């Protein structure tokens, strides 16, 4: 009797927990979440790349402007010492 109940109970659990519909739904949800995460990752990478380019341009312009006013000051100082 116990064997019959056990087999019937396990069959019921198997049908309900691992039905083909449940597996298909889980696979679909997994694929959707993976796609969403990949999209978010690519969007963040593009945003980071844009921010880095902006920082590089700003840094280059700052360095360029520093050199424009710093070099004549150094040259004037050198002439003053001579």
Q: Which residue is it, tokens 């050198």?
A: 78
* pLDDT tens per residue across span 5-14: 888 877 777 6
Question: What does the CA dihedral 36, 42, 48, 49 come to, rounded to 10 degrees?
Answer: -170
User: In this predicted model, what pLDDT tens digit does every residue of 10-43 receive, in sequence order?
Assistant: 777 766 666 778 778 889 999 999 999 999 999 9
- With the CA atoms of 8, 12, 14 and 18 taken in that order, what torsion angle do they form, in degrees rounded to the nearest 10? 170
The residues near 16 (Cβ < 8 Å, ≥ 6 apart) are 22
Q: pLDDT band at 71, cuts 50/70/90?
A: low
Among the listed residues 28, 46, 48, 24, the one whose alpha carbon sits nearest the alpha carbon of residue 36: 28
Measured on CA atoms in the order 50, 56, 62, 68, is the torsion positive or negative?
negative
Average pLDDT of the chain to the nearest whole number: 78
């Amino acid at each position: 009797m116990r064997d019959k109940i056990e087999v019937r109970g396990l069959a019921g659990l198997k049908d309900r927990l691992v039905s083909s519909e449940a597996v298909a739904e889980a696979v679909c949800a997994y694929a959707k979440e993976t796609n969403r995460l990949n999209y978010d990752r690519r969007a963040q990478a593009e945003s980071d790349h844009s921010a880095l380019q902006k920082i590089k341009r700003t840094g280059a312009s700052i360095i360029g402007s520093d050199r424009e006013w710093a070099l004549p000051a150094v040259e004037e100082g050198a002439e003053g010492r001579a």
